[in-house]
Chain A
Amino acid sequence: MQIFKTPNINFFRWRWQALGVSTIVILVGVSTIWSGGGLPLGIDFSGGTAVVLRFEERTPEEAVRMAISSVEGEKVVQQYGDPTENEVLIRLPQIAEETGASLEQGANSVVEAIESAGLGEFEVQSTDIVGPVIGRELQQKGIYATLAALAGILIYVGIRFRFSFAVGAIAAVFHDILVTLTFLTVFGYELSLNVVAAILTITGYSVNDTIVIFDRVRENLRSMRRDKLELVVNRSVNQTLARTIITSATTSLAVLALFLFGGEVLHGFAFTMLVGIISGTYSTVFIAASTAVFVNERRANQQVSTAPGLTGGKKRSRRQKMKIRAS
């Protein structure tokens, strides 16, 4: 079975339109994040307390809210997971003073308040308490890990391919991270440790996709030495298109299973992966390759204009070819 024969689509003709669509999506994300006062941080990063309770019987959120009205601070009560599970998530803000005893105070007083409110039998499913020190540390570590991973990949791609390819790969990754953050914010997901893990995975996945195309470009450059890079890249994108789409489809299927059946804890993770995979496929085809070509042309032009006379340009192109052969 074959969905399509090797297609011949001119992706470069669409590059400005694609750039436009991506810019709009990212702008929507930035403005949503901006108007919401920054990224919606979960308690992993902001600090605070989250308690999940499972009631024996159906208990409206409003009743829970009433029961804990005596507990200090701004509380958030929301249904958690599948409605038939009768689970409620209660979030409390960060306690200002970080003294040993008071860290758990919020969680304890919530449980006590609900016990005394007579809402029927319930079970504490999970309690998460994150102090401000840990929250800050996790934030720093998250940013550091993402940047370090990007740098590592940039260096690897730079060594194995060309510098301009590495820039293309990183542009695609940044695109995917921004698009994913946009969707997370718009759909009301919070940034948690699991979501950051998913974003890092997308980073790997997006580069993975891009490398497959670049690998093909490198191979094709040997047989299409006289053609413009733009043409070679476009041909490579077309040749690998079947693989790009099939892989995305199968991985999406696996992640979709996770999204549907993986339970509430992994919901944010699976959602992030799903968006990231789709965005990753799109950016591979439209963003990575055209950025690589663009950067390559700019560098070539700069070399020509700074080198006096034609000989400089020739030298450059010879060097380029040698590099291609060497890699």
Chain B
Amino acid sequence: MYPPEEKVRLGLDLKGGVHMVLRVQTDDALRIETETSMERVREVLEVRSIGVGAMAMESPTRFRIESISPAQDAEFRAITDEQLLVLYRRESGAGGRYAFEMRPNMAVSLREESVRQALQTIERRVNELGVNEPIVAPHGVGGDQILVQLPGVSDVARAKEIIRSTALLELKLVEQGPAISRETLLQANGGRLPDGMEVVPGTDDTLTPGAAPQSVFYLVRRVAAITGRDLRTARSTLDEYNQPAVSFLLNGDGARKFGDITSQNIGRQLAIILDGRVYSAPRIESRITDEGRITGYFSQEEAADLGLVLRSGALPASLTYLEERRVGPTLGADSVRAGILASVTGLLLVAFFMLVYYKLAGINAILSVALNLLILLGVMAYLNATMTLPGIAGFILTIGMGIDSNVLIFERIKEELASAKNVRLAVAAGFDRVFLTILDTHVASLIAAAFLFQFGTGPIRGFATTLFFGLLSNVFTAVFVSRTLFETILARRRVARLSI
């Protein structure tokens, strides 16, 4: 238990820091899954030369394929059976029209999986930030919320940016571009977006040499050649012009894929896309296997942060903030001071009252209350429980409850003394009679504390915890310790009158 600064963990409200509740947009994960499935089927259908009309997503969990000719219907069914039926339910409509709807149980497990992944990713990022005793945990009843607590963090904006950035890295082959606008890019295709392609915005300074970087657009393959999952590690570095950049290393699987693609596409451009934005689109000079570099217009810190988020892996879905509470370090210190002042004053006031009212027996009460507080502090330290401002209030309430038990006992002893019993008998009777009452009152209060804990978020949990253990240890100190004290004194010498 000693030293207290090390053993009793201070909550955010006493230490300063930030508390956030985030929601994982699990729809994102479903949309990505549906999109990937659709594109995979598109490629297989192309290879097997099965003609299809439009293919389009209708919702994050549903897409349709139109105009399958009756002659190829059986083959189409066989292919989709193989490719999709684990995840999707097939609905057939008129005129060779099919819709694929994600199975509900699959959707649920995908959502759960994405929350779990997000949790792990955030944990890794927070750990890399070097925060002391952070908390990253599931939160709430909806199953899609995550609680993040970062004690002692001062640059909250940066921490939030790092936690939040999706860091979805994709390397995609460029079909056309860069171009100044979307329209010029699509002119070659008669203004239509070709199947399996997409337009991604980016920044470029090569289009008009010497000019400032401008917004450009690229037409790229929808299916990524390499994604963030293929990364082994990433770190900030300097590029050939001594500008901050981020270099990355691919894992075995990724290196094999990258090697194939680069050797087959020498002379073409490969777009490095991060969170839906092209950072650069270098030309493939030769076969590359496991190393790459992202250049852009980074500051030193941006490059370091990007390396961090890439290392920790991409988030499976985007995040939104639902709640944020920041406590400045000075407010925390003020609260600690105020809490200690209030506790000490409370204890002194109560002690004074007990001494005046119960005289020598008051010492007994004060000892048992002090022991109660000591036990409570020990339990808190042992459980590694967090001390919050409401937790201090819980301490003060424990003083109140402890005194209450002693008052109950003392008043009863007085009554017993009044009915002319001798001192030892009166003390014994007092404790015996009151024991059940103390038990009943404590159980009722424990019920309230337990529900408080269940309901509690953050600081209030601290209150419920201190109250709960304060009540438990109070049963022990008030009934057992106080009685032993009385009986030890009474056994040593004959007492004719009790100072109570």
Bound-state CA distance A273–B457 (Å) is 20
Q: A251: nearest residue on chain B (CB-CB)?
A: B400
From B63-71, B201-209, B234-242, B348-356, the one touching the partner chain is B348-356
What residues of B have a CB within 8 angstroms of the CB of A207 in the complex? 441, 444-445, 448
From B112-120, B263-271, B284-292, B327-335, the one touching the partner chain is B327-335
Bound-state CA distance A146–B454 (Å) is 11
Contact B21 A134 (CB under 8 A): yes
Query: How many B residues touch the partner, as a band?
Result: 35 or more
Among the listed A134, A146, A219, which residue makes an inter-chain contact with B433, where contact means beta carbons less than 8 Å apart? Answer: A219
Interface string of B285-315 (1 = CB under 8 A from A): 0000000000000000000000000000000
Given A6-B415, A254-B350, A254-B400 in contact, is the A197-B456 Cβ separation under 8 Å? yes
Interface residues of A in 250-276 (CB under 8 A from B): 250-251, 253-258, 260-263, 265-266, 269-270, 273
What residues of A have a CB within 8 angstroms of the CB of B389 in the complex? 262-263, 265-266
Is A323 an interface position by the 8 A CB rule? no
Closest CB-CB distance, A123 to chain B, in whole Å? 6
Among the listed B320, B343, B393, B457, which residue makes an inter-chain contact with A269, where contact means beta carbons less than 8 Å apart? Answer: B393
Contact A1 B359 (CB under 8 A): yes
Contact A246 B357 (CB under 8 A): yes
Given A2-B414, A126-B331, A254-B350 in contact, is the A156-B447 Cβ separation under 8 Å? yes
From A98-106, A177-185, A311-319, the one touching the partner chain is A98-106
What residues of B have a CB within 8 angstroms of the CB of A160 in the complex? 440
Bound-state CA distance A134–B324 (Å) is 10
What residues of A have a CB within 8 angstroms of the CB of B321 in the complex? 100, 103-104, 129, 131
Given A250-B403, A257-B349 in contact, is the A204-B445 Cβ separation under 8 Å? yes
Given A134-B322, A251-B403 in contact, is the A193-B345 Cβ separation under 8 Å? no
Among the listed B164, B324, B396, B397, which residue makes an inter-chain contact with A127, where contact means beta carbons less than 8 Å apart? Answer: B324
Most buried by B among A145, A157, A194: A145
Closest CB-CB distance, B253 to chain A, in whole Å? 33
Closest CB-CB distance, A239 to chain B, in whole Å? 7
Is B326 an interface position by the 8 A CB rule? yes
Contact A100 B325 (CB under 8 A): no
What residues of B have a CB within 8 angstroms of the CB of A146 in the complex? 451
Contact B397 A100 (CB under 8 A): no
Contact B400 A246 (CB under 8 A): no
Closest CB-CB distance, B404 to chain A, in whole Å? 4
Is A152 an interface position by the 8 A CB rule? yes
Contact B323 A130 (CB under 8 A): yes
What residues of A have a CB within 8 angstroms of the CB of B349 in the complex? 253-254, 256-257
What residues of B have a CB within 8 angstroms of the CB of A263 in the complex? 334-335, 338-339, 342, 389
Closest CB-CB distance, A191 to chain B, in whole Å? 14
Is A247 an interface position by the 8 A CB rule? yes
Bound-state CA distance A239–B408 (Å) is 11
Is A149 an interface position by the 8 A CB rule? yes
Q: B451: nearest residue on chain A (CB-CB)?
A: A149
Is B230 an interface position by the 8 A CB rule? no
Contact B338 A125 (CB under 8 A): no
Contact A197 B327 (CB under 8 A): no
Is A211 an interface position by the 8 A CB rule? yes
What residues of A have a CB within 8 angstroms of the CB of B454 in the complex? 145, 148
Closest CB-CB distance, A106 to chain B, in whole Å? 11
Is B460 an interface position by the 8 A CB rule? yes
Contact A123 B328 (CB under 8 A): yes
Closest CB-CB distance, A293 to chain B, in whole Å? 19
Contact A261 B345 (CB under 8 A): yes
Contact B323 A129 (CB under 8 A): yes
Is A137 an interface position by the 8 A CB rule? yes
Interface string of A127-167 (1 = CB under 8 A from B): 11111011001100110111011001100110010000000
Closest CB-CB distance, B18 to chain A, in whole Å? 9
Q: A143: nearest residue on chain B (CB-CB)?
A: B455
Contact B400 A204 (CB under 8 A): no
Contact B325 A128 (CB under 8 A): yes
Closest CB-CB distance, B17 to chain A, in whole Å? 11
Contact A204 B449 (CB under 8 A): yes
Closest CB-CB distance, B336 to chain A, in whole Å? 9
Interface string of B384-399 (1 = CB under 8 A from A): 0000011011001101
Closest CB-CB distance, A253 to chain B, in whole Å? 4
Is A21 an interface position by the 8 A CB rule? no
Contact B331 A52 (CB under 8 A): yes
Bound-state CA distance A254–B450 (Å) is 23
Is B55 an interface position by the 8 A CB rule? no
Is B58 an interface position by the 8 A CB rule? no
What residues of A have a CB within 8 angstroms of the CB of B21 in the complex? 134
Contact B339 A129 (CB under 8 A): no
Given A126-B325, A253-B353 in contact, is the A208-B451 Cβ separation under 8 Å? no
Contact B322 A243 (CB under 8 A): no
Interface residues of A in 210-268 (CB under 8 A from B): 211-212, 215-216, 219, 239-240, 242-243, 246-247, 249-251, 253-258, 260-263, 265-266
Interface string of A93-114 (1 = CB under 8 A from B): 0000011100110000000000
What residues of A have a CB within 8 angstroms of the CB of B334 in the complex? 263
Is B54 an interface position by the 8 A CB rule? no
Among the listed B23, B341, B357, B452, which residue makes an inter-chain contact with A197, where contact means beta carbons less than 8 Å apart? Answer: B452
Is B407 an interface position by the 8 A CB rule? yes
Given A211-B440, A253-B349, A262-B339 in contact, is the A133-B23 Cβ separation under 8 Å? yes
What residues of A have a CB within 8 angstroms of the CB of B469 in the complex? none
Interface residues of B in 150-196 (CB under 8 A from A): 160, 164
Contact A266 B393 (CB under 8 A): yes
Bound-state CA distance A125–B327 (Å) is 6
Bound-state CA distance A273–B141 (Å) is 30
Closest CB-CB distance, B499 to chain A, in whole Å? 10
Contact A260 B342 (CB under 8 A): yes
Closest CB-CB distance, B238 to chain A, in whole Å? 31
Contact A208 B445 (CB under 8 A): yes
Query: Besides the contacts A124-B326, A257-B345, what 8 more A-B pairs have beta carbons closer than 8 Å?
Result: A2-B414, A6-B418, A123-B328, A129-B321, A141-B455, A197-B460, A197-B464, A262-B339
Enumerate 10 A-B pairs (CB-CB under 8 Å) in ascending A order.
Answer: A123-B328, A128-B326, A131-B322, A133-B23, A141-B455, A193-B457, A208-B401, A246-B411, A250-B407, A254-B399
Closest 10 CB pairs of A and B: A145-B455, A263-B338, A204-B448, A251-B400, A257-B346, A254-B346, A100-B320, A149-B451, A204-B445, A257-B345
